[in-house]
Structure 1
Amino acid sequence: MAVIATDSFRTLALQVTCHAVNQARDHQEARSLMQKTIDRLAQQIAASIAFIGPDCRLVVLPEYFLTGFPLAESLTVWAEKACLEIAGPEYEALGQIAQEKNIFLAGNAYELDRNFPKLYFQACFVIDPSGSVVLRYRRLNSMFAPTPHDVWERYLDCYGLDGVFPVAKTAIGNLAALASEEILYPEVARCLAMRGAEIFLHSTSEVYGQARSPKEAAKITRAVENMAYVISANTAGIANSPIPAASVDGGSKIIDYRGLVLAETGAGESMAAFAEIDLAALRQYRRRPGLNNLLSRQRFELYADSYRQSHFYPANTMLDGEVDRKHFIQTQQATIERLAKLGVI
């Protein structure tokens, strides 16, 4: 199906329940649970587009919507139980949804990579209306999961820096992804904006409430400082998990390049967070001289040496492959102690 470029379309941050696979007895049962989730999504996406209209071209799903997150599982067990193959049946099934509804479908999943056989990565993806994955971003900051930074030298050899910070230039604009708490890391969004990102797709699973949290503030800040849209899709709780189901429920939203919240939903499964994306207005805003054009006023040379000379969380700590889960907290503790001795923190 031909993908026609457009300057204006609607997008949906689809808030759905995550059905965890932690209690699945084996690989086969976990895959069955994932397929049931995909079947539910196909119906929910079709019904949502029927309500919103055929100009809904982009649907963003929450973080790890197929599986939940690992609890006591080792890296090996979680890789076998919950991680997707790059060209596996789950991506194929999601691609069929994108094809049938003529949409760009974005989401987040744990993913295997043959270049790193003992590890997995948490990946954000975008599937275009042809069913092809046109963007694959691996989360760079994670507390308890491997990241490209943990195998940095080898990862760069495989994918290069543009593979670390990918931007998909599509018929509906330049798309980039941020995973969950990475909304709190301005450098990630900035590196994507440097490569032309216009729309940040933020798959998350987070606490939501009446009080504005740091993540809520960060979503608006990332939009304003990068003059970009932020589409943030949160879970509607996590089922089949020992964690109370509604702990991460609600607040999916769409924020424009001025920091205005265009749509926001409360708790529970919902398609209420949909809004228009006006690419022509965004591009005009970015090309208008003046005080508010923050991108054109950036002086990156001012900061480059400070970043180059600073070493906080170390790279390449997982080059030898699988580690015990205690590795993550131990590495962080060692980093804190080192920075304290240096008087940095």
Structure 2
Amino acid sequence: MPREEKHKLIKPYVACCVQAYVENNNPSLKGGFEGDELKKRNLEMMCDYIDSMFFHGESAVKLVCFPEFGIGGMYAQKTKVEEVKKYEAISIPGPETDVLAAKAKQHAIYIAACNHENDPSLPDNFMNTAFIINPKGKIILKYRKVDTQFGCAPHDIHDKYINPITGTRDYFPVVDTEIGRLACMICADVGSPEIPRVYALKGAEVLMHLNGGHVGEIDHIKLRARAADNTIYVLTENWAGSILVNKKIGDTLIPLRIRTGKSSGGSMIIDPYGKIIAESDGCTPQLVEGKIDIMYLREKRGMWLKGGVGNYLARRRAEMYTAYESRTIFPPNGVLKAGSMKHAHDETVTKRRNEAVQNILNGYDYYSEDDVK
């Protein structure tokens, strides 16, 4: 039987993607790392943007999203695991999330953000974690990036992975809230259509794509397709650009050089049928806001798809796909078997990637035209 709806009526509300300049080069261009002070500056920026939404008093904004690497910054090619853990990663919960929790309580909003995390269960590694804070200041969801380029993905410790919020092997957590059922994915996860599909099958209604550079025509086509295929709202959030160099004048840091371009901008909010509700105007800092109507979504999900409106998932004939979906492609338990990576381009990852490609080729299943009688 379907679960009883915890929140019977959810009024339409506004979701906001904060597209801002972020200090995400850690180490800097000169090779030096910065820890707490860089995190503090990024958090101050995040809080200022939140406060600006309520500058004139009440606001319809109930959900605010920030990009990948938005607090502690991003590694370079040869950054080592211990350097990420010391300078970039945070504890969740911890001092940094406490700052955002205070803002969530102050303005009665939900906040979604993303950063490298020092997880006590992984003393020699780190994870790329998206998290959601509710208006009571409580962390109610943790999602760990699947398609990670560095660090540990849940699939790398598949046999031992437990989601710290749900207490189960929950790779794709969905949390029921006063503004709908929420879920997250991160950056390159956009290339895995299975992730939004699983979320939709679990009942997710708003999927936040906390992004760190995956923009452009193809990625936006993917995101719109993910929304339409799964009858789900998709919010994709990216930075406006990377602050490369600061200059200190008194107690004030002035950004001198900012990198924008093909990895910047592109934040947007997409409705359950792939229509763009709101999108950024280029790579400049801005707030991208759009209306989320959960009751509309629930009404349409309760309908058979007709004339482009209804629930696409109802057409899914799962038994036909099972044998293909269960094949191993990328080998699991890589960290359990090989140990932690040394840096972002570690040879152990290259080996597993090559094995994944070979698994695809080995799994091809077709017949020759010459065999047809």
Q: Is the 8 A contact 1:173 1:199 kept in 2?
A: yes
Q: TM-score, normalization: structure 2? A: 0.83
Q: Is the 8 A contact 1:68 1:238 kept in 2?
A: no
Q: What is the letter of the counterpart of residue 323 of structure 1?
A: M
C-alpha separation in 2, matches of 1:293 and 1:146 = 35
1:112 equivalent in alignment to 2:118:
yes
Inter-partner Cα distance in structure 1 for 2:56 and 2:266: 20
**Contact 2:175-2:181 at 8 Å conserved across structures:** yes
* CA distance in 1 between partners of 2:278 and 2:58 (Å): 16
Task: Figure out how many residues of one structure are paired with residues of the other and give that number.
Answer: 335
Match of 2:354 among 327, 330, 333: 333
* Preserved CA contact (<8 Å) 1:193 1:226: yes
Which residue in 2 is equivalent to 1:19? 23
Question: Out of 140, 144, 148, which is 1:138 matched to?
Answer: 144
Preserved CA contact (<8 Å) 1:18 1:67: no
User: Unaligned 5+ residue runs, structure 1?
Assistant: none
Give runs of aligned pairs for residues 50-199 of structure 1, distance below 5 A.
50=55, 54-71=59-76, 72-156=78-162, 159-161=167-169, 163-199=170-206
Task: Quickly say closer, same or farther: Cα 1:305–1:52, change in 2 above 3 A.
Answer: farther
Identity of aligned residues (%): 24
What is the distance in 2 between the residues matched to 1:87 and 1:157? 14
The answer (yes or no) to whether the contact 1:4–1:171 under 8 Å persists in 2 is: no
Does 1 or 2 have the higher relative contact order (CA < 8 Å, sep 6+)?
1
2:46 alignment partner in structure 1: 41
Bigger helix fraction: 1
1:294 corresponds to which residue?
312
Q: Distance in 2 between matches of 1:176 and 1:52?
A: 29
> Over residues 220-264 of structure 1, what are the superposed CA-to-partner deviations in whole Å (9 max), with x where a residue is unaligned?
0110011010011111112238x9721421111000001110000
Deviations 1:305-338 (A, max 9, x none): 2222x22110001015422323222321233245
Using a 3 Å threshold, how does the CA distance of structure 1 residues 343 and 225 change in structure 2: closer, same or farther?
A: closer
Distance change in 2, residues 1:272/1:244 (3 Å): closer
Q: Distance in 1 between matches of 2:208 and 2:215?
A: 18
CA distance in 2, matches of 1:342, 1:169: 38
Do structure 1's residue 260 and structure 2's residue 260 form an aligned pair? no
Closer/same/farther in 2, CA of residues 120 and 14 from structure 1, 3 Å limit: same
- State the shift of 1:339 in Å: 4.0
For 1:122 and 1:297, the matched residues in 2 are separated by 34
Q: 1:18, 1:235 within 8 Å by CA — same for their partners in 2?
A: yes
State the match for 1:6 in structure 2.
Answer: 10
Indicate the structure (1 or 2) with the bigger Cα radius of gyration: 2
Describe the SS at the equivalent of 2:316.
Answer: coil
Residue 18 of structure 1: how far off its partner (Å): 1.8
CA distance in 2, matches of 1:203, 1:226: 18
Structure 2: tracts of 5 or more residues without a match: 1-6, 246-256, 366-373
Q: Which residue of 2 aligns with 1:220?
A: 224
Structure 1 residue 245 corresponds to structure 2 residue 259: yes
Secondary structure of the residue that 2:336 maps to in structure 1? Answer: coil
In 2: Cα distance, 1:199 partner to 1:307 partner? 25
Normalised TM-score (structure 1): 0.90
CA change 1:52–1:189 in 2 (3 A) is farther
Check whether the contact 1:48–1:271 (CA below 8 A) recurs between aligned residues. Answer: no
The superposition leaves residues 277-298 of structure 1 with CA deviations (integer Å, 9 ceiling, x where unpaired) of 1111111111122334212222
C-alpha separation in 2, matches of 1:141 and 1:124: 13
| Alignment RMSD (CA, Å) | 2.5
Q: Distance in 2 between matches of 1:154 and 1:293?
A: 35
Kept in 2: contact 1:123–1:138 (CA 8 A): yes
